């Protein structure tokens, strides 16, 4: 188990990580979701030992990590750009880590070759050892980078946006493979990404990094359906957030007045969260019974293949998104510029305390 406690890392005036706590359990695939510049790479570099925290502690299996040299930590790191040695063959790239490690370095050519072959087989690159790094595709380079890490039998594997450099089709395939490889090895993977779909697809658990802290770490379904705070909800790109002030059992917002799903003292600021796929659209005079609603003007639609997004503007200019699934369409024909009622089952609305940011 990896345990980060109160970890802070500053660069001059920039506070990249601020009193961060995170637990990565044994034998798990964890995604770490965060926007660009949120400190994802910094977090991985601290775990690997390429950097040290300004405050806080890191533990792996009950052993203190911070202060230890990187090569003594038994941690695997798959870099964002693969970082393969261009002048070495695939096999030599994989052997490199074994040959040059501080403890239990392997020098026997036969053993090196066997272990490299085994690692290449694990990532589906059987027989590619003799190829030059320039003679393989992007997806294959990704696998070599993974094999080079796995061959050293790390206690945990850190992957920094490992699918970022791959095209969309390949990305989907690598998602499945990464999960399958990890399940065979039983070692935990911590996979950093800026993509909410990738984070939710990959992770048994997803941790959301926001403002230098973990906003929420939970199973993907739970995180998606029940984010605990506005920061987590914002990162999922599936929730509309409407900020306002509580008054008489409702949240008064510039987009309208929303019945509060739970009590909030008058004058307290809060945000109502409504999921893109839980908003219905109708004419203002035909809102389904039992549903709450507010009105907004239809701006435009966007077709994404299996889903279609509809964009609305609330009276205050806030952008509201509604998603429709083409297999089971539920939205009426929409006319640009017209005002519609956006309605929802009251029990689907979430309330987060605190002002909108
Ligand atoms: P991410 O990987 O999520 O995009 P990073 O961890 O690379 O984010 O960066 C987090 C923040 O720390 C950013 O504001 C970045 O500019 C800053 N930062 C990262 N590394 C350094 C560094 N070596 N020197 C100064 N600032 C840095
Ligand atoms: Mg990064």
In angstroms and rounded to an integer, the radius of gyration of the C-alpha atoms of the chain is 24
**In a shared domain, residues 175 and 303:** no
pLDDT at 170: 80
- Both 346 and 212 in one domain: the answer is no
pLDDT at 316: 83
Q: Among all ligands shown, which has an atom nearest to the Cα of 35?
A: 1
Q: How far is the CA of 40 from the centre of ligand 2 (A)?
A: 5
CA distances from 1 to 47, 58, 70, 353 (A): 12, 11, 18, 32
Q: How confident is the model at residue 105 (pLDDT cuts 50, 70, 90)?
A: confident
Residues 206 and 253 in one domain: no
Place of tokens 């964002």: 80
Say what percent of the chain tops pLDDT 70. 100
Residue that finishes a domain, picked among 197, 225, 253: 225
Does ligand 1 have an atom closer than 6 angstroms to the CB of 41?
yes
User: Could you tell me if 26 and 174 lie in one domain?
Assistant: yes
Predicted local confidence at residue 10, as pLDDT: 97
Ligand 2 is an ion; residues with CB less than 5 A from it: 40-41
**Does residue 343 share a domain with residue 293?**
yes
- The predicted pLDDT at position 169 comes to 79
Does residue 231 sit within a domain? no
> Are 62 and 169 in a shared domain?
yes
The share of the chain scoring above pLDDT 90, in percent, equals 79
Are 200 and 244 in the same domain?
no
Phi-psi domain of 146 (left: phi exceeds 0; alpha: psi -120 through 50; beta: other): alpha
The residue nearest atom 6 of ligand 1, judged by CA position, is 39
Domain count across the chain: 2
> Does residue 242 belong to any structural domain of this protein?
yes
How sure is the predictor about 323, in pLDDT bands with cuts at 50, 70 and 90?
very high
Estimate the share of the chain in helix, then strand, then coil, as percent rounded to the nearest 5: 25, 35, 40
Residue 232 lies in a domain: no
Mean pLDDT lowest among 33-42, 96-105, 262-271: 96-105
Domain finish residue from 225, 255, 286 = 225
Question: CATH number for the domain including 348?
Answer: 2.40.50.140
Non-local CB neighbours of 38 within 8 Å, separated by 6+ positions: 209, 210, 212
Co-location of 165 and 278 in the same domain? no
Residue 47, domain member (yes or no)? yes
Ligand 1 atom nearest to 45, measured from its CA: 6
Q: Locate 332 and state its tokens.
A: 């009426």
* Ligand 1 centre distance from Cα of residue 81 (Å): 16
Closest CA to 30 of 137, 168, 135, 179: 179
Question: Got the DSSP string for 182-251?
Answer: HHHHT-EEEEEES-HHHHHHH-SEEEEEETTEEEEEEEHHHHHHS-SSHHHHHHHT-EEEEEEEEETTEE
By mean pLDDT, which of 92-101, 150-159, 289-298 is the weakest?
A: 92-101
Residue 154 beta carbon below 6 angstroms from any ligand 1 atom? no
- Confidence tier at 208 by pLDDT (50, 70, 90): very high
Residue-level pLDDT at 261: 85
Query: Largest Cα–Cα distance in the chain?
Result: 80
Q: Is residue 230 part of a domain?
A: no
Q: Which atom of ligand 1 is nearest to the CA of 194?
A: 3
Q: Which ligand is nearest to the CA of 33?
A: 1
Domain match, 204 and 267 both:
no
Last residue of a domain, one of 225, 248, 282: 225
Same-domain status, 265 and 298: yes
Q: Is 233 within the bounds of a domain?
A: no
Instruction: Show the domain range for 200.
Output: 2-225
* Average pLDDT of the residues of the chain: 93
> Domain with 197 in it: what CATH number?
3.40.50.300
Q: Is 9 in the pocket of ligand 1 (CB under 6 A)?
A: no
pLDDT reading at 357 higher than 90: no
Q: Per the structure block, which two tokens stand in for 271?
A: 């945000």
Q: Answer yes or no: do 218 and 260 share one domain.
A: no
The reply to whether 101 falls in a domain is yes
- With respect to residue 250, please indicate whether it lies within any of the assigned structural domains: yes
Are residues 170 and 261 both part of a single domain?
no
């Amino acid at each position: 188990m990896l345990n980060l406690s109160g970890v802070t890392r500053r660069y001059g005036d920039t506070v990249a990580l601020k009193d961060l706590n995170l637990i990565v359990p044994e034998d798990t695939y964890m995604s770490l979701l965060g926007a660009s510049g949120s400190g994802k790479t910094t977090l991985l570099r601290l775990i690997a030992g390429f950097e040290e925290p300004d405050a806080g502690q890191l533990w792996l299996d009950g052993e203190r990590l911070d202060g230890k040299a990187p090569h003594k930590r038994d941690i695997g790191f798959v870099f964002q750009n693969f970082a393969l040695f261009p002048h070495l063959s695939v096999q030599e790239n994989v052997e490199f880590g074994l040959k040059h490690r501080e403890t239990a370095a392997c020098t026997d050519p036969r053993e090196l070759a066997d272990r490299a072959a085994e690692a290449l087989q694990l990532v589906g690159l059987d027989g590619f050892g003799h190829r030059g790094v320039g003679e393989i595709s992007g997806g294959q380079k990704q696998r070599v980078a993974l094999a080079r890490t796995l061959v050293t039998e790390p206690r945990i594997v850190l992957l920094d946006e490992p699918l970022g450099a791959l095209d969309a089709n390949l990305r989907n395939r690598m998602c499945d493979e990464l999960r399958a490889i990890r399940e065979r090895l039983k070692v935990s993977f911590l996979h950093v990404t800026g993509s909410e779909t990738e984070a939710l697809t990959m992770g048994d658990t997803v941790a959301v990094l926001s403002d230098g802290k973990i906003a929420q770490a939970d199973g993907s379904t739970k995180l998606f359906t029940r984010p605990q705070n506005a920061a987590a909800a914002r990162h999922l790109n599936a929730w509309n957030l409407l900020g306002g002030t509580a008054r008489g059992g409702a949240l008064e917002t510039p987009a309208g007045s929303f019945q509060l799903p739970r009590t909030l003292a008058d004058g307290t600021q809060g945000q109502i969260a409504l999921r893109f796929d839980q908003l219905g659209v109708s004419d203002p005079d035909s809102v389904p019974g039992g549903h709450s609603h507010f009105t907004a003007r239809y701006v435009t639609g966007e077709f994404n293949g299996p889903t279609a997004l509809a964009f609305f503007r609330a009276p205050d200019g806030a952008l509201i998104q509604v998603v429709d699934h083409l297999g089971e369409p539920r939205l009426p024909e929409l006319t640009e510029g017209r005002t519609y009622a956006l309605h929802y089952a009251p029990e689907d609305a979430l309330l987060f305390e605190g002002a909108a940011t």
